[in-house]
A and B are shown apart, each in its own frame.
Chain A
């Protein structure tokens, strides 16, 4: 259209060892538009944007910005060209104040910090102008995730950026906070700024962007005006085939109560209340979803149920037996399985082989341990069995698990947990960070378990995942269950309000149970 686009990244290639992260991606961005970059995890969006903001240098390819070739050696140089990025994981130092964070890396290292006051008042001024409600002398550690994001965005504005890149900015936000963010982006564009918006959420892209490109396997496979496409087309482009948004399933036939949580309380690491008076039941043959924005007590709820953080009050009963107060190892011996939230942190042990990973909770139980000694043959047989049944792509069972892709790692974790033949399965984030093929596979396996009469609880921040397989969805907010919604996409607004802490008068929490 234009002879000279605002920004052109041409045939960008970048590889890390044997992994090709960017395989000749090309994009063009117009001045004053919101440009969305859509793609699955690992499609190469973040790598491309990290190149644009100077964190990574491309192996090949050219960037032309405002008509001149752009060669960046550091993010600082990007800022000098008025390009700035808000990262998915915030780049704020928790122990410092907002002002100190803004001053970080600015100017000569030998300069004194006497300018602090001037910086503070400039922050207040900008905060008022954009309505971001950022207080310059707050210590970042004490801010909520949403507040921290506003601090990040304001930091970019403070540095006088013309091209703003946001990497998955809505992942940690409530629907209402998301709305507010999208409004802000529209306002920035009106001021003449340009926005690149990375996401894998179709609806946001549809709502806010002017144009959209889809990335897959390190390449841009599709670019269009947003007004000329629809979510289904974008989704197809993302995965290379139609998404099975709705998995075939029969209506739930809940049986007896398997797991009952009553009036449960527990604290977080800092000793503050994290789970407040939660009561819920999970029956045979149903999948109960727990929806909520990250950080509302879901993690602590899951850890409390498995004995990993101490509870302060309440009860957790499995098949009528009290679990509260039992050690994690005692709970492991009950028919209670747990797919943890962060597999790298908890679910698997990266530098060990598959064999040693499949016995994680059963390392001291028969048949894997006989009189205190490990039976290597039994362990290897078990690992091979799981690999075969769950179609885990691994050369052998004695390869180290960190050589597997995220999807295959998650398959192995789910396989391991299901192999324990639990009555109750607690899943915290089933499909986080895995490819769409693995995603479908594990969702189907979980549904199969439901058909087999297992009681399943799925904690997720991905509403799509919850809608796809849950039978009912409870919403957690600030440590409380504040409502229940059926898995019906038409009730999305209602769900969003609940996730933002707005109770619905017609369905008060007290009557939910």
Chain B
């Protein structure tokens, strides 16, 4: 899995030094060129599909971009969409760096949403800040636990996390459906949804007269923290070594099991936190379909960022632009919104295509 483990520049000090500014910039350019080209290729493929099916691709994309960046309100909406993508994406960076194929962020998001809703409708009377904190921590913990099930099955029974996380997705979704039609259903109402969270526990908003809540700031801060964890901490080092070469990890005295559990739990906690923020910051109650597939989309977010958490901020925003834009395409040009799935799929293919080609050309020959 070496293709996803190309490390970031380790010599940060030299980049900051004026003398090697140019070297740093060229390194940055080298790191960002493939994802940029990948996205352009994917958009091109989308454009071709639009043209073939009788739409005016160029006009549609123009409308889309103009619409997304039209005013503060629309930018805020776009960032609101980016928040869960960034959060889940940075978590997946950790799992993927550890070579754990967590396809279950979707389920972990649901688990986090359920726990957050439970804590949100209970514990009335707590101070507002403490209650919000409780909601977020509960969401993160539930996501971590849900992911840890797959982690434990992997380290104890050698069960493929690919299969278990996919199965756990379905189970989490059915569980949510059960909760909103049963125990967590709003009492006295007929709809399959939980009670509404009280305004006191809503996440504070950061841009007046928009819905953009502090989650985006937390996501960006967490991206930095995860970056430091992965590349500047000994535990993150252990996670990466396990991901590249588990034999070397064992030789180095790293507990492979512990690192796997740590990585998948971090990954799950980010997805769970994203779910909690969706409840406390956006929908304010739990529904059956609380996620439109954030957990799957975030796989593309992490990959496009080459599993670098700081990069995931940007790729998360990019995908949010595509999402918001695809709604505009639909409103303005009646382009089926599912086009965005196609573009996402194409982005993933272009990114892995580039990474694999680059790895091949960089490989030393005997």
Contact = CB atoms under 8 A, between A and B. Distances in A.
A88 interface: no
Interface in A367-417: 368-369, 372-374, 376-377, 380, 398, 400, 402-403
Given A327-B253, A352-B7, A360 B13 contact: no
A78 to B, nearest CB: 21
Contact of A363 (B7, B10, B247, B252): B252
A353 B248 contact: no
B248 A363 contact: no
Contacts of A351: 2, 5-7, 244
A42 B247 CA distance: 26
Interface string A338-380: 1010000111111111011001110110001100111011001
A19 interface: yes
Given A363-B252, A373-B233, A376-B12, A345 B366 contact: no
A21 interface: yes
Interface stretch (A165-173, A177-185, A274-282, A328-336): A328-336
B234 A346 contact: no
Contact of A364 (B2, B238, B361): B238
A355 B8 CA distance: 13
B365 interface: yes
Contact of B232 (A350, A359, A373): A373
A85 B110 CA distance: 58
B237 interface: yes
Contact of B238 (A17, A355, A363, A400): A363
A352 B244 contact: yes
A340 B251 contact: yes
A380 B245 CA distance: 22
Nearest to A306: B251
A346 B247 contact: yes
Contacts of B254: 329, 363
B332 interface: no
Contacts of A328: 250-253
A338 B237 contact: no
A332 B254 CA distance: 10
Nearest to B1: A351
Interface in B246-281: 247-248, 250-255
B240 to A, nearest CB: 8
B149 interface: no
Contacts of B11: 376, 380, 398
A429 to B, nearest CB: 14
Nearest to B364: A402
B7 A353 contact: yes
B366 A373 contact: no
B92 interface: no
A443 B248 CA distance: 24
Given A329-B254, A363-B252, A373-B232, A19 B364 contact: yes
Contacts of B2: 350-351
Interface in A168-216: none
B228 interface: yes
Given A327-B253, A352-B7, A373-B233, A346 B244 contact: no
B80 interface: no
A492 interface: no
A340 B6 CA distance: 24
A360 B248 contact: yes
Nearest to A328: B253
Given A356-B10, A368-B234, 6 more contacts: A328-B250, A328-B251, A332-B252, A345-B248, A353-B10, A372-B233
15 contacts: A327-B255, A345-B245, A346-B245, A350-B245, A355-B10, A356-B10, A356-B237, A360-B251, A361-B251, A363-B234, A368-B234, A372-B233, A373-B228, A376-B11, A398-B11
Interface of A: 16-19, 21, 42, 306, 308, 327-333, 338, 340, 345-353, 355-356, 359-361, 363-364, 368-369, 372-374, 376-377, 380, 398, 400, 402-403
